[in-house]
Amino acid sequence: MSRQMIAGNWKMNGLTAEADALAAALLRGVGERAGAPGAELLVCPPFTQIAAVSRLLAGSDIRVGGQDCSMHEKGAHTGDVSPSMLRDLGATHVILGHSERRQNHNELDETVREKCVAARRAGLVPIVCVGETAEQRSADGHEETVGWQLKGSLPDGFADEEAIVAYEPVWAIGTGRTATAEDVAAMHGFIRAELKRQFSESGEKVRILYGGSVNAGNAATLLAIPEVGGALVGGASLKPDDFLQILSAAQGG
């Protein structure tokens, strides 16, 4: 397995002073460690803070990403942000298909796929999110749900270059609930099998992150599970000490 990635999704949090302070604290915390981080570290601020955070973190081992992008490159798309605009601000990655986008903005698998194509064309690494609701899991439809999301959201050639899938059980996001180690192992194993089925040998190279109320207390257990290639962290990524502890868990302490 390649190095694990710890990705922080700041969501709609961070005015300028707050974002600057958070980025500075992470930069200071990583700098105090001996040598380069054993895991890759990524932060995804709101659109409004990407440029400033990118400048603050320039030259460090911390990468910056966006939380979403348009499928369009330019034109009459009021309020949208294109992948090339993210690149221009210093982003290297972009989160796509997060459950909050799928639920709150009615994004379909087809929409996520088109955004993924556009992101790759602009040179961004896509992080495509998949996951089931509590109702789908209780009805024993979690594998079917995730399987269809993978089939519909990932374009042809997705695994030919660096690409990431994030499994986020919707029922565990922002609820304080966390899937059991057995649940995570089973779903990540299923996702790996689906990636290999969809992309043959190239599917083995896709990193699979776990995202669902990851925190400093459970990170070591979750990151030790087979096929877990890192974590997509929400609330804990806004707390520098907690986020750095999660990073330490990925490095093995």
How many C-beta neighbours within 10 Å does residue 204 have? 12
174 appears as a binding residue in the annotation: yes
Cβ proximity of 202 and 228 under 8 Å:
no
106 appears as a binding residue in the annotation: no
How many C-beta neighbours within 10 Å does residue 129 have? 26
235 appears as a binding residue in the annotation: yes
Rounded to 5 degrees, φ, ψ at 96 are -130, 145
Cβ proximity of 109 and 148 under 8 Å:
yes
H or E segment at 94?
Answer: strand 93-96
- Whether residue 40 lies in the annotated active site: no
Rounded to 5 degrees, φ, ψ at 98 are -55, 150
11 appears as a binding residue in the annotation: yes
218 appears as a binding residue in the annotation: no
Measure the CA–CA gap between 38 and 127, rounded to whole angstroms: 20
- Residue 12's beta-bridge partner residues? none
H or E segment at 43?
Answer: strand 40-44
Active-site annotation holder among 168, 188, 194, 227:
168
Active-site annotation holder among 40, 93, 98, 194:
98
Cα dihedral 187, 120, 37, 57 sign: negative
- Which amino acid belongs to residue 32? E
- Whether residue 72 lies in the annotated active site: no
Helix, strand, coil share of the chain (percent; to 5): 50, 15, 40
9 appears as a binding residue in the annotation: yes
Would you call 58 helix, strand, or coil by DSSP? coil
248 appears as a binding residue in the annotation: no
Measure the CA–CA gap between 246 and 238, rounded to whole angstroms: 12
Active site residues: 98, 168
Q: Which residues are annotated as a binding site for substrate?
A: 9-11, 174, 213, 234-235
